[in-house]
Structure 1
Amino acid sequence: MIRTLLKSMRQYKKSSWLTVICSIMEVVMEIIIPMMMSNLIDYGITDGKMPMVWKYGIAILIFALLELFFGTLSAHFGAEAAAGFSANLRSDMYKNVQTFSFSNIDKFSTASIITRLTTDVTNVQNAYQMLIRMAIRGPVMILFCFIVCLSISVKISMIFLIIIPLLGFCLVLIILKVRPIFTRVFRTYDNMNNIVEENVRGIRAVKTFNQEEGQISRFKNISQKVYEYYCKGEKIIALNSPLMQFCMYVCTLLIAWIGAKMIVASGNNPALGLTAGNLTELLTYSIQILMSLMILSMVFAMITIASSSMERIAELLQEKTDITNPEHPVMSVEDGSITFDHVNFRYQTASNDLTQKKRKNVLSDINLQIDSGQTVGIIGATGSAKTSLVQLIPRLYDVTSGTLQVGGRNVKDYDLQTLRDSVAMVLQKNELFSGTINENLRWGDPSATDEEIKTACHQACADEFIEQFPDGYETRIEQGGSNVSGGQKQRLCIARALLKKPKILILDDSTSAVDTKTDALIQKSFREDLPETTKIIIAQRISSVQNADQIIVLDDGHVNAVGTHDELVKNNTIYREIYESQTRKGGSSDGKEQ
């Protein structure tokens, strides 16, 4: 896990090392100052020698300025290293998510990915900044101070050998107790973000069903859990402070008591025992040691909180796409022909291989031949795996067994970008992004001319409503396309797909929100303008596919029948029942654009 995260350090390694070096130098300056103070008391104030007071006074000032200088540099480089590290982590996670296949994406919720990119990275950033500054400064300070204390008085230094292990043991207990709590906190954060995302995306449904109070209550409950877990964890961590204060006061009292007795016994003679300056020095070092321990306890607490975040970030970084390019990929697709040869497919889960084998196939023994330039309709009940079938063509998922060929070659032989550039797919859930209509359409082809954009929109019957907008193609699309109707959104997505000039065009129920007249115009445009493009149309309405060259009837992941409209009406029970129900009731063929 640590090794995975440190790969994101890259150009900020130098800043990290400079932080460590400056922190050590700051500690050295801070340790020298009490020595100078001890000499000032013993050789200046006690002996009444002003030259010595000036000498050590100026030395203390110089070392204090040096401490300030190195402390400032340490803070600067530490902030730079931590902020840069977190920026690289976010970038690396985001880049890795972009490489995921659909099966990889299925393992993580959107809310979970967002939490990892924001809250978890912030926790790691804070922990790393404390680590390279305080976690270095603390042990170095303790070690140096203890060595100096030993040189002054071995007897008094033994106090630290008793207090420090006892304190360390208590801190370990606190950390072990608090770590599982913060693991639960971040899981609950995922659930909370998921609720927010669902509510914002579905706000129209929430208001339609008057569920505002229910959603508020739902959010309050999950927010209350986060509050309770955090409070429980912070209460345990808060034990650090009184524990440290108790140890500090005990040490100070013991040092003062034992040191005072030694000074009285030696008559404040350095040759015979301890001096007042030595006692002041020891008290200063004891405070520095105990303060360093307190800071270390805070660092460990922060690292404990961040450790759960580190695991979650590493999990996302270590996830590798299960769909990759072959060693020597084919860089061009010959045509739009498609062949399914005994194809089986099942969705993967995080379970073991034995469980995977027991899972039911979503698609079973699919054998199909689609010639280049054909128009193919796919009909079937909800859950018959229509979408799963077409998602195999551009390798959004890989077949579990069997062979799928496009243009006469196995899809696994192609360069992924080449294959997906040749297959344009308008998904069941249409997505538009914030920006103008023009910007959204250019997703299909960034270099498309204005004339090509207008042609694609005409083929998708989108030009008629675009030209009615005051700003035309520069009309602003809000997030998710919330300011256009469902039918308009579908037609824009079809136009965007057409701009790719694909060899295969897949419409996954992508005209369900348009009226039958517009649907018919789109089908006619496809026949006339895209004769060489293979067109696969998934639809619930018979009218959308009845003119297709062949229609595939799917039933529970199996091919039930293949034929033309007339053949299927005559020979296939499933198709005939759908046709008769829509004809008898008027079905969706009479629907208006949504």
Structure 2
Amino acid sequence: MSFLMPYVRRFGKPFGAAILFLMLEALCDLMQPTLMSHIIDFGVAEKDMDTVFRYGGFMLLITGVGALAATLRNIISSHVALNFGTLLRSDLFRRIQTLSYDSIDKFDRASLVTRLTNDVTQIQNFTNGLMRIFVKAPLICIGSLIMAVRLNPPLSLVLAVVVPLVAVLIVFNMRIGFPLFTKVQQALDRVNGVSREYLSGVRVVKAFNRFDYETEKFGGVNDEYRQASIRVMRMLSIFSPGIMLTVNFGIAAVIWIGGVRVDGGQMQVGHIIAFINYMTQILFSLLMISNVFTMFVRAKASAERIGEVFAEKDTMTWKEEELARSEGASGSIDFKGVSFAYTGTEAVLRDITLSCRPGETVGIIGSTGSGKSTLVNLIPRFYDATSGTIQVDGMNVRDVEPSRLREQIAIVPQKAVLFSGTIRENLLFGKEGASDEELERAARMAEAHDFIMACPEGYETRLGQGGVNLSGGQKQRLSIARALVRRPSILILDDCTSAVDTSTESRIKEALRQYAQGLTCILIAQRISSVMDADRIVVLDSGEIVGVGRHDELMQSCLAYQEIYRSQTGKEVRANV
């Protein structure tokens, strides 16, 4: 829970002010039964109207003070809880952004969404409750106990039996409830995961008419969530009535014992009424304390889940004193004996040694799963190599702050990712503050300008989430334009023209050839035609380099390249191997 300390320091003073007003409100509530007993015993019993009006006036005054304190407490508590929840959610989002891919992969994506939303809300609600009723309940309970004992010590023996029994019930409630609430949050993770997966792949579901399958899958996780919630509700349905029953037995005992003592002249009627009021306050306080512990258990489970994200150690480190050396980069890349394996898997890359020079276009080709995308993901430090070194402009990338390193690199990912907003806003992801001329120039090179201008609002056309109102080829061309706006030292194109027709791809490649003068361009492709005219072609097979050279050279010397050529063109190759 150490991640909460900065928020305690930040919101401690207004939180304390809310608690002070809450204590004043609780004190006003505690004074009411005693004043009532005085009205009955000294005013009503002796027919003294002056006493009735005097104590009645005190009750009205105290009620007004309590109402004012409650109003101020509500204003402060709402302000603190909402600001705390907003800040915690923002900090958690920023923390997730700073984690490396390797660290993020330890968490399910749906679980991260749940932690950002439901888990933060649970902690926010508990914080709000602390300043409203969660602190007031024990104050009322303890205060009522003290006032009841002072009022009539013999009757307080009933409390000596009731309170320990309720305490035992609350302890059992906590011990049983914590693991149950944790399972509820995990079940909610699975519901969010299935929902997220369906919504991202809704077109495929419609295309294959798999509604029944998806409905059944969602129904399964939804039913698991229902079952987990039912177990929690069953627990609450036992403990809350159990507490109420115990306290009500105590009230019945007070009435019986009090009646006997009044009949024997040992006690006044007003004391019984005041004692019953205190018992009622204790009843509702104990019920609320039970709810407090239930909320605490839920908030604790949520806090632990959020704490896991804050506690995640990012494996990426760098040398602060080396940052200045990464400026003015020219774009050279050197892989030296690089191997890489994802957590819990076999090596995806093995002993890769490769150099890319500034101004050079390097094509990378290989079968599916050969490690092409993984190789280029190591350059901007999305992952760190398991062994070996990667140098950009002669510097080990492990010595460079990732954000500074990535300023030199522009990537067009294999799957085009666009965001909700206008086309202009998406292009500005490449370079914040880029001029209209820069955006148009990049769009023209990516063969995107014409279809953008054909849209009703041109560059101000709004895109749905993920660019759902664009075709696959249009999304890829916008992704290319976004990268070109940046004017990087290193341009990585990860199979980014797979949804573009060959004539458009040819025009894009020609524009890139003019644009790429002086920068390093790495072109990953499945189609051999996309890399045939690269300065060098690297052939990957099962995570190893099996060929490097120009197209003509590889056609003579590399069996894997020949096989790719044969399978895509249908032409036989005459090899001199």
- TM-score, length-normalised on structure 2? 0.95
Q: Which residue of 2 aligns with 1:22?
A: 21
Provide the rounded CA distance (Å) in 1 between the counterparts of 2:237 and 2:268.
Answer: 38
For 1:538 and 1:17, the matched residues in 2 are separated by 59
Give the partner amino acid of 1:506: I
> Structure 1 residue 148: deviation in Å?
2.0
Q: Which amino acid aligns with 1:371?
A: R
Change (3 A) 1:10 1:493: farther
The answer to whether residue 275 in structure 2 is matched with residue 282 in structure 1 is yes
Shift of 1:325: 4.1
CA contact (8 A) 1:344 1:401 kept: yes
2:523 pairs, out of 510, 532, 537, with 537
2:497 counterpart SS class: coil
Residue 192 of structure 2 aligns with an amino acid whose one-letter code is N
Q: Partner of 1:537: helix, strand, or coil?
A: strand
Q: Is the 8 A contact 1:134 1:296 kept in 2?
A: no
SS of match in other structure, 2:507: helix
Supply the AA of the counterpart residue of 1:207.
K
User: Quick one: which amino acid aligns to residue 189 of structure 1?
Assistant: L
Q: Alpha-carbon deviation of 1:7?
A: 2.6
Q: Which whole-Å CA distance do the structure 1 matches of 2:55 and 2:234 have between them?
A: 45
Task: State the SS of the aligned residue for 1:511.
Answer: coil
How far is the alpha carbon of 1:75 from its aligned partner? 2.5
**Is 2:383 the partner of 1:397?**
yes
How far does residue 504 in structure 1 lie from its aligned partner after superposition?
0.7
Are 1:505 and 2:484 matched, yes or no? no
Instruction: Give the distance between the partners of 1:45 and 1:532, measured in 2 at CA.
Output: 100
1:191 aligns with: 190
Match runs of 1:291-310 below 5 Å: 291-310=284-303
- Match of 1:255? 254
Report the counterpart of residue 75 of structure 1 in structure 2.
Answer: 74
| Residue 575 of structure 2: aligned partner | none
Is the contact between residue 73 and residue 131 of structure 2 (CA under 8 Å) also seen in structure 1?
A: no
| Distance in 1 separating the partners of 2:480 and 2:416 | 9
**2: CA distance, partners of 1:223 / 1:581:** 46
- The answer as to 2:421 corresponding to 1:435 is yes
Q: Which residue of 2 aligns with 1:353?
A: none
Deviation at 1:58, TM superposition (A): 0.6
Q: CA deviation at 1:480?
A: 0.7
2:370 to 384, 390, 395: 384
Contact residue 427 and residue 482 of structure 2 kept, 8 A: yes
Provide the secondary structure at the position in 1 that maps to 2:336: strand
Q: Which residue of 2 aligns with 1:583?
A: 569
Tell me the distance in 2 between the aligned counterparts of 1:408 and 1:314.
Answer: 38
Aligned AA for 1:140?
L
The share of aligned pairs that are identical, in percent, is 40
Q: Distance in 1 between matches of 2:522 and 2:181?
A: 49
Find the aligned partners of 2:486 and 2:385 in 1 and give their Cα distance: 25
Whole-angstrom distance in 1 between the partners of 2:37 and 2:457: 79
Mapping of residues 86-485 of structure 1, within 5 Å? 86-265=85-264, 267=265, 273-331=266-324, 332-348=327-343, 359-485=345-471
Decide whether the 8 Å contact of 1:333 with 1:418 is kept in 2.
no
2:557 maps to: 571
Distance 2:9 2:503 in 1: 58
> Once the 2 structures are TM-superposed, how far is the Cα of residue 320 of structure 1 from its aligned partner?
4.0
CA distance in 2, matches of 1:186, 1:298: 18
What one-letter code is carried by the residue in structure 1 that aligns with 2:316?
Answer: I
**Whole-angstrom CA distance in 1 between matches of 2:158 and 2:250:** 7
- 1:12 Cα shift? 2.9
CA shift for structure 1 position 394: 1.1
Per-residue deviation at 1:549?
1.2
Q: Displacement of 1:363 after TM fit?
A: 1.4
Partner SS, residue 551 of structure 1: strand
Q: 1:488-544: CA deviations, max 9, x gaps?
A: 111111111011111110001111111222222222222223210111000011111
Residue 40 of structure 1 corresponds to which residue in structure 2?
Answer: 39
Greater alpha carbon shift after TM alignment, 11-20 vs 224-233: 11-20
CA distance in 1, matches of 2:70, 2:458: 59
Which residue does 1:352 correspond to in 2? none
Q: Distance in 1 between matches of 2:171 and 2:95?
A: 35
**In structure 1, what is the Cα distance between the partners aligned to 2:235 and 2:17?**
34
Aligned to 2:548: 562
For residues 501 and 528 of structure 2, what CA distance do their matches in structure 1 show? 13
Maintained 8 Å contact 1:240/1:294: no
AA of the residue aligned to 1:509: D
Report the Cα offset of residue 10 of structure 1.
Answer: 5.3
Matches of 1:470 and 1:151 in 2, distance apart?
Answer: 80
Answer whether contact 2:419 2:467 (CA < 8 A) is retained: yes
Residue 589 of structure 1 is matched in structure 2 by: none
CA distance in 2, matches of 1:580, 1:145: 89
Q: TM-score of the superposition, structure 1-length normalised? A: 0.92
SS at match of 2:323: coil
Q: What is the DSSP-based 3-state SS (H/G/I as helix, E as strand, rest coil) of the residue aligned with 1:373? A: coil
Q: Hey, what's the Cα distance between the residues in 2 that align with 1:178 and 1:585?
A: 69
- Name the SS of the counterpart of 1:207 in structure 2: helix
Counterparts in 2 of 1:389 and 1:166: CA distance versus 1, 3 Å: same
CA deviations 1:217-271 (Å, max 9, x no partner) are 2212221221222122112112233213312221112112222222233x3xxxx
Contact 1:9 1:88 in 2 (8 A): no
1:378 partner letter: I
- Residue 20 of structure 1 aligns to a residue in which SS? helix
Separation in structure 2 between the aligned mates of residue 532 and residue 10 of structure 1, nearest angstrom: 52
More displaced stretch, 535-544 vs 18-27: 18-27
User: What do you get for the CA RMSD once the two structures are aligned?
Assistant: 1.8
CA distance in 1: counterparts of 2:482 and 2:271, whole angstroms: 81
Q: Is the 8 A contact 1:333 1:419 kept in 2?
A: no
Q: Is the 8 A contact 2:565 2:571 kept in 1?
A: no
Contact preservation (8 Å) 1:13, 1:81? no
Q: Deviations over 1:389-432 (max 9, x none)?
A: 10111111112221111112111222322211111111111101
Contact between 2:495 and 2:523, CA under 8 Å: does it hold in 1? yes
Aligned to 2:505: 519
1:202 Cα offset (Å): 0.9
Other structure's SS at 1:193 match? helix
Deviates further, 165-174 or 52-61: 165-174
Deviation of 1:198 (Å):
1.3
Pair 1:472–1:133, CA change in 2 (3 A):
closer
Deviation at 1:551, TM superposition (A): 0.8
Q: Is contact 1:9-1:85 (8 Å) kept? A: no
Deviates more, 1:324-333 or 1:253-262: 324-333
> Which amino acid is 2:31 matched to?
I
CA distance in 1, matches of 2:9, 2:202: 42
Indicate the residue corresponding to 1:486 in structure 2: 472
CA displacement at 1:575 relative to structure 2: 0.3
Counterpart residue number, 2:51: 52
Any conservation in 1 of the 2:144–2:282 contact (CA below 8 Å)?
A: yes
In 2, the alpha carbon distance for the partners of 1:78 and 1:468 equals: 53
Contact 2:320 2:401 in 1 (8 A): no
Query: How many angstroms apart in 2 are the aligned matches of 1:471 and 1:298?
Result: 54
| Long gaps (5+) in structure 2 | 573-577
Letter in 2 for 1:36: L
| Amino acid paired to 2:487 | K
CA apart distance, 1:378: 0.5
Residues 555-586 of structure 1: per-residue CA shift (max 9 Å, x gap): 11111121111111101100011012212179
- Greater shift in the superposed pair: 145-154 or 96-105: 145-154
Whether the 8 Å contact between 2:329 and 2:408 is mirrored in structure 1 is no
Aligned partner letter, 1:360 = E
